[in-house]
Structure 1
Amino acid sequence: MALFKCAGMRRFLAHAVRLPTGLKCSTQANMKPGYQQANVVILHKDLADDFEAFCQANRSPLPLLYRSKCGEWGCPPLATGSDIREDCPEYCVFENGVLVKKIPSLSSYTPQLQDMVTFYLGCSFGFEAALKAAGVPVRNVEQGKNVCMYKTSVPCIREGKFHCQMVVSMRPVPHDKLDGAAQCTHMIPLAHGGPVHIGHPKLLGIHELSRPEYGDPVEACAGDVPVFWACGVTGVEAVQSCKPPLAFTHSPGCMFLTDREVETNSPHALEPEQCPLTFCISQNPQHYSMASKKAVKQIQAIEELAVKDPGARGIRALFVQDELLKTCLSLSHSSSVLLTTGFPTHYMHDPPEETDGPPGAIAMAAMLQALRKEVVIVTDERALEMNQHIMRDAVEKGVIKTAVPVISFQSNSPDSALHFLCRDGDPTKPRFDHLVAIERSGRAADGNYYNMRGVNIKHLVDPIDDLFTTASSIAGITTTGIGDGGNELGMGKVKAAVKAHMPNGTLIACDVAADFAITTGVSNWGGYAVACALYVLNLCPIHSRYLQKGLGPPPTSEQKSLWAACLPTIAKEEEMLHILVKYGVRSGKTANLGLEVDGLTFHPYHSDIIQQLGDLTLR
C-alpha cells in the first residue's frame, strides 16, 4: 500500500522527523524504503524545453521522471494528491543563479509558479534499499548522516542555456562487495543506475572527500573503496550556471517523496549476460573499471586463442588470466599511449630486427587511433629511420589509417626518463597514461639483453626499459608487456615462471616488470588480441556507459563501423609482412626473409589465428 497519499500528511510527517539543520537524506530514505524519491527543479516555462533536452543528454545524473504542465502543482504519475509547493521539506530559492534563501514552503510564490514548470528527477536514495538487500552496507545510513555529494571536473553535455559540471554522490563500499553494488544499482536506471566511477576521487577532480559541497562527510571502514554515482543535485548546478531570474530546487537531502515503488526492471536487468563486473586496473591511483559478463567472457576467449602454442615452446607456463582484459580496460580509459617494439635477435644481419612485434604494435595503434587516443611509438635510434619508413608504407597500403609518430629515447642523465615521460620532468604531469611493450628486448637481471639462445645483444638496444622502471613510480601511468618467451620488456612480472620453465630462463628472463603481462603464442597475436578486445569493450553498453560517466549517447553506427574497419584482417597483416620483408626484416626463429613469423609461415598459422580472432570479436 502506497504511503503518504495525502499531501498535507506527507509534508507533516516529513517535517516531523527533520533534524534542526534540515532533513537528513538517510532519515528520509528510511521513512519510505523501496519507494522512488525525486529531486526537483522548477523553471520558467521559457527554459523548460532547454532543460528537458539537458536532462535527455545527461540521463545518468538527471533521469527525468516527470515534466509538469505549466502551473501544475500535482504530479499524477508519481503521487496522488501532491502539491509541489508544500511536499519537499525544504526548498532553495535562486535569483539570477544565486541561492538567496532556503524556505519550507513555496506557497508565497504561487503567482510566479503559474508560469513555471516542475521537473521531477530520479534520486539515488531510491537504490539504498537495494544495496542493503544485496548485502552492501550503506555507510551514511549506518552513521546517521546525509550522503556526501561533490562537484566534479566532468562536464555535462551542454544543451541550450544549460551547462555545468556533474555532481556525484559517494558511498564507501567494501572491495568484495563492488560487484554487488554495481549490479543492483545498474538495474535501477531511474535512480541514476550503476556507478560512474570507482576509486580515487582525484580522477573526478575531487580533492578532499572530507569536504563535500553538499551533504555530510561519511567515514569509510577498512577495506572500503569510494564508489561514485551520478547525482540529481547536478540540476541545482545547472540552474546556477543558467542564471535564470527566478528558479527553485529541492534543498539537497530534502527530496519529493513519491508513491511509486522503485523500478528495478531495465532492458539490461533482464539479460544475465549484461550483468556488470568490476576489475581493478590501477592501484596508483586506485581505479576500477567495469564491463558486462558477456564482454568479459568474449575477451577471455580471445585471450585463450592468443595463448595457443603451435611452436610447442611451453609458454602456457607464463600465462596469467585476465591480463588482456585489465590491459584493455586501462587502455580504454587512457587518452595517450606510448607503444614500443623491436627485438634485434639477428645480430649477424642488417637490420637485426624480427617480424614479430611491429605488426602487433601497428594493429594496436590502429584501434587506439580509432578510439581517439593519442599514440606514439618509441624505438631504437639505429632503427628509427627504417621504422618511420615502415609506418609510411603501412599508411600507403591501408594497414593503418593515419601515421603514428615514431621517435627514439636516449638516456643522457639520471632523470632522462622522467623528462621524457612527464612535462618539465614533473611527475604530476605525465604525457602518457599507458606504456605498452610488445616483443621488445627486455633487460635481464645482469643488465644485459638476451635473445632466446642466450646471446647478449645489448649493443643493439637502447634503454627504453628505463621508461618502464620510471613509470612504475609515477601515479597515473600503467604499463603492459606482451611477450612469448619471457625475455621481453615487461615480462619481469612472470620472471619466476620464466626461470622455472623456459630454456635459458635463469639467464634471459627480463627483470623489468609491467603492471600487466600478456603471454601469447606469438607476440603479434597479443597485439591483435588487444585491438580485438578494445573493440569488444567499446561496444559493451556497461563499459561504454561507465567510460562516459553516464553522459551522452551510446556509440553511433558510424563509430562502430569505424572501429570495425580498424580490426586486424588477414589482408592487412599479410600486407604488413610484405612491408617488413621489403626492409630486410626476418623471421625470429629461422632468420628467413619471407612471410614468416617465429618460424611459422603466414599461411596457414597466422592467417588462421587472425580469422579466428575476427570471428570471436564480431560474433
Structure 2
Amino acid sequence: MILPYKTHRENNIMYGLINLVFILGLLKCATNFLCRAVRLKGLKYSTRAKMKPGYQQANVVILHKDLADDFEAFCRANSSPLPLLYRSKCGEWSCGPLATGSDIREDCPGYCVFENGVLMKKVASLSSYTPQLQDMVTFYLGCSFGFESALKAAGVPVRNVEQGKNVSMYKTSVACIRAGQFHCPMVVSMRPVPEDKLDNAAQSTHGIPLAHGGPVHIGDPKLLGIQDLSQPDYGDPVKQCPGDVPVFWACGVTGVEAVQSCKPALAFTHSPGCMFITDQKAETISPLTLEPAQCHLSFCISQNPQHYSIASKRAVQQIRAIEELVVEDPGSRGIRALFLQDELLKACLSLSHSSSVLITTGFPTHYMHNPPEETDGPPGAIAMAAMLQALRKEVVIVTDGRALEMNQHIMRDAVKKGVIKTAVPVISFQSNGPDSALHFLCHDGDPTKPRFDHLVAIERSGRATDGNYYNMRGVNIKHLVDPIDDLFTTASTIAGITTTGIGDGGNELGMGKVKAAVKAYMPNGNLIACDVAADFAITAGVSNWGGYAVACALYVLNLCPIHWRYLHSGLGLSLTPDQQSLWMACLPTVAKEEEMLHILVKYGVRSGKTANLGLEVDGLTFHPYHSDIIQQLRNLTLA
C-alpha cells in the first residue's frame, strides 16, 4: 500500500490502525475456528449433545459425483431414514445453509472410509483425501439427536443421555425402497420410553421430519427382525427401566448401509454417533398446539409379542363414533352391558398390521330347519373380507363341514352379484386329534410359523363352560357345530396370532372376554355364555353391523396419514387415488347388503329371531332398520 505523504507521527497512527484491523480479523477467524473445533472435535456424544441442545445434527454420506443423483433419489424415496438437509456441489467443503465457516473434512469427530463397500478404517480427518474429494458430493442427512430436546420438553426421559451413552442403532429386516444402485435394509435407533409417555414421544417427534419424524415401530424388536437389544449394530446398548417400552425411529445410519450395498470404489460417512452439528435450531411442535389430524394416540394391540400401533386423534374419534352407532340395541336386549370401548379400534389396528386373516361365521340356531343357519353373520363376514382383500390381505373363511358346500355357493353368488370382488376360499376344520388346531393354524404344526396372524369370529356359535353350544333360548345345538373354538384356544398360545370376536348376545365365539357381564345381564346368561375369549370383543346391536363397522374402521385407518406412515415403517409409500377409490368401492352399501340377503334367502337361510325366510335379520326387516344403519355408517366413514 502507498500512503500519501504525511508526518511521521501520522504515518505511525495509520499503520497502527491497519495492523489493529488485520489482527482483529485474524482473531475473529481464529475464534470462529476454535469455537467450532471445541464444540465439535474430540468430544463424546453426551458432551456434544449438551454443547448445542436443540440444534439440528446431521449424518454425512460422501460419494463420487456419478452416484450423486441416484443417492438423492434414494433419499427422496426413503425420507424418514434419510431426510435430506443439503446436497453440496461437487468438491464443496463448506455447508453454508447449515453451518457458517464449516469444513466437512474436519467438522465430524470421526469418519468411516469405505472402499468397494468395505469399511477400511476410521479417521479423525478427511484432509488427506482432499484430491479425491474434488470429484465428490456431500449429503447432509437429518439425525434423531435433533429431536431429543423435544422429547425432554414433552416430559419424555432420554435414557441414553441419562446413562451417558450413544444411542442404540440396529439393522432391521425392513427393506428400503430401491433407487438406482442403492438398496439396503433400514437402520433404526431405539430409545426406551415409559408406557404412559408413548403418546408424548410420538407427538413431540412427529413435528420434526428433518430429524426422522415420529416412531416407525413400538414394541417387540423381533417384529423388525432385531433379535437382541443388548447387541446393537451401531452405538451402545441402553438399559431399559421398569415400565419402559422400546420405541424405534428411522435412523440416518441407513446411509452407511446404502454405501455398503452399492460398493462404490471410494466413499466416506460420519462414524456412527459422530455427527456434523449445524447452527440451526431443530423445529419443534408442542403437543398442545397440534391439529387433531396430527395428534398421535398409541394403543397396545398385542402382548404376545408386545406391539403398539398409532393413529391420529381424528381417526380415533371417527372410529369411536362408528363403534357407538353399531352398539345401538334395537331389540332392547341390554347388550350395552357387554360393551367395551375401543375394542373395534384395537381390533382394526391389529387387522391393519396383519397379512393373513381367517374369518369364521355360522350360528345354526334354527335346529328344526334345513339349513339351520341364520342371516346374521355371513353378510358381515363378507363385508370384512371385501375390505381386507382391498387392503391386500390374504383372507380365508372357515365354516362347519355340513354347511361347506352351501357357503361356497353363497360366496360364488356374492362375487357374481358384485357384493365382493374376488371369491374368498371357504374351508372347514375338523378335529382329528389334540394337535389338529395347531397343524391347521401353523405350517407343519410349528408354532413359530403361523399361517394366519389374525382370527375373526362373527356371529359364530361359541362353546359354553359345560362344553355345549347354546342358542339364546338355551337350546343345545352342539350336534350342528364343528369345534372351530379350538382354533381360538390354540391361537391364544401362539405368539403372533391375535383374535377378535363379534357378537350381539354373549353366546358367540370370542365373547368369553365379557363372560361375567353376559352371566350377570343377559337372559339365560349363566347357561349360554361363551367360555372362549378373544383378544378383542366387539359388541354390536346386530353382529352384521359389527362386521360392517370393521370394514369402515379399516377404511378410516388406512386413510389416516399418521397410521399409514407407521404401518409402512416410515418409508415413502404414498397413498394413491386409485387405492382410495378401490377401498371406497369395497365399503358396505345398502344395495350390496340387500343383494347379499337375497342370496341367503335363495339358499333357505332364515332370520335369527323369527325364522322368517325373507329380507330380515334378527327380527328386523332390512328396510328401514338395517339400511338406515348402513347409510349412517357410510356417512360417518366418508365424513
Normalising by structure 2, what TM-score?
Answer: 0.94
Q: Which residue of structure 2 aligns with residue 126 of structure 1?
A: 146
In the alignment, does 2:175 pair up with 1:155?
yes
For the pair 1:183 / 2:209, whether they are aligned, the reply is no
CA 1:353 to 1:7, structure 2 compared with 1: closer, same or farther past 3 Å? farther
Structure 2 CA distance for aligned equivalents of residues 231 and 126 of structure 1: 12
Contact 1:189 1:266 (8 Å CA) reproduced: no
Q: Secondary structure at the match of 2:203?
A: helix
8 Å Cα contact 1:486/1:492 also seen in 2: yes
Aligned position for 1:613: 633
Give the 3 Å change call, closer, same or farther, for CA 396–266 of structure 1 in structure 2. Answer: farther
- The corresponding residue for 1:486 is 506
Please state how far the C-alpha of 1:552 moved relative to its aligned partner. 1.9
CA distance in 1, matches of 2:484, 2:456: 11
Please name the residue that 1:239 is paired with. 259
Alignment-derived partner of residue 592 in structure 1: 612
Match of residue 406, structure 2, among 386, 394, 419? 386
Are the aligned partners of 1:139 and 1:172 in contact in 2 as well (CA < 8 Å)?
yes
**Corresponding position: 1:10 with 2:33:** no
CA contact (8 A) 2:204 2:286 kept: no
> Are the structure 2 counterparts of residues 269 and 65 from structure 1 closer, same or farther at C-alpha, using a change threshold of 3 Å?
farther
Q: CA deviation at 1:66?
A: 0.5
Say if 1:401 and 1:491 are closer, same or farther in 2 by CA, change over 3 A.
same
Letter in 2 for 1:134: A
For the residues of structure 2 that align with 1:606 and 1:274, how far apart are their CA atoms?
34
- Tell me the distance in 1 between the aligned counterparts of 2:33 and 2:61: 19
Alignment partners' CA distance in 2, 1:583 and 1:268: 56
Whole-Å Cα distance in 2 between the matches of residues 5 and 242 of structure 1? 40
User: Which residue identity is paired with 2:55?
Assistant: Y
- What is the aligned partner in structure 1 of residue 280 from structure 2? 260
Alpha-carbon deviations, 1:545-596, whole Å to 9, x = none?
Answer: 0000000232111111110000000000000000000000000000000000
2:104 aligned residue: 84
Deviation readout 1:228-251 (Å, 9 max, x if unpaired): 000000000000000000000000
Match 2:59 to one of 23, 39, 46: 39
* Alignment correspondent of 2:537: 517
CA apart distance, 1:266: 11
Paired residue for 1:535?
A: 555
In the alignment, structure 1 residue 368 sits paired with structure 2 residue 388: yes
Give the SS at the match of 1:225: strand
For the Cα contact (< 8 Å) 2:204–2:287, is it kept in 1?
Answer: no
* 8 Å CA contact 1:11, 1:89 repeated in 2: no
Q: What is the CA deviation profile of residues 165-216 of structure 1, one whole-angstrom value per residue up to 9, with x for unaligned ones? A: 0000000000011011011011111100000000000000000000000000
C-alpha deviations, 1:471-498, integer Å up to 9, x for none?
Answer: 0000000000000000000000000000
- Are 1:5 and 1:81, in contact at CA under 8 Å, matched by a contact in 2? no
Superposition TM-score, scaled by structure 1 size: 0.97
Structure 1, 508-517 or 29-38: larger mean CA deviation:
29-38
- C-alpha distance in structure 2 between counterparts of 1:581 and 1:266, whole Å: 56
Contact 1:96–1:245 under 8 Å retained in 2: yes
Q: Which residue of 234, 244, 250 corresponds with 1:224?
A: 244
Shift of 1:7: 4.6
Helix, strand or coil: the match of 1:500?
A: helix
SS in 2 for 1:6: helix
Aligned partner of residue 41 in structure 2, secondary structure: helix
What letter is aligned with 1:383? A
TM superposition shift of 1:77: 1.0
Aligned 1:17-416 pairs, distance under 5 A: 18=43, 23-24=44-45, 26-264=46-284, 270-416=290-436
**Does the aligned pair in 2 maintain the 1:376–1:406 contact within 8 Å?**
yes
Kindly provide the CA deviation profile for residues 386-423 of structure 1, in whole angstroms up to 9, marking residues without a partner as x.
00000000000000000000000000000000000000
CA distance in 2, matches of 1:433, 1:503: 34
| Partner SS for 1:203 | helix
Amino acid at match of 1:482: I
Which residue identity does 2:463 align to in structure 1? R
Cα distance in 2 between the residues matched to 1:116 and 1:588: 74
Using the alignment, how far apart are the partners of 1:450 and 1:568 within structure 2?
30
Q: 2-side partners of 1:9 and 1:166: how far apart?
A: 35
Aligned-partner SS, 2:434: coil
254 and 272 in structure 1: CA distance in 2 versus 1, 3 angstrom threshold: same
- 1:404-463 deviation line (CA, Å, top 9, x unaligned): 000000000000000000000000000000000000000000000000000000000000
Shift of 1:267: 13
The runs of at least 4 aligned residues of structure 1 exceeding 6 Å deviation read 266-269
Task: Give structure 2 stretches of 5+ with no counterpart.
Answer: 1-29
Paired residues for 1:497-512 under 5 Å: 497-512=517-532
Task: Please tell me the residue identity of whatever aligns with 2:35.
Answer: M
CA distance in 2, matches of 1:137, 1:430: 37
Identity across matched positions, percent: 86
CA distance in 1, matches of 2:514, 2:403: 28
Q: Distance in 2 between matches of 1:190 and 1:345?
A: 59
Structure 1's 139 and 268: CA in aligned 2 closer, same or farther, altered over 3 A? Answer: closer
Equivalent position to 1:476, from 493, 496, 519: 496
SS at match of 2:452: coil
Partner SS for 2:309: strand
| Offset of residue 13 of structure 1 | 3.1
Structure 1 residue 311: deviation in Å? Answer: 1.1
Q: CA deviation at 1:356?
A: 0.2
| Structure 2 residue 577 is matched with structure 1 residue 551 | no
**Structure 1 residues 5 and 595, CA gap change in structure 2 (3 angstroms):** farther
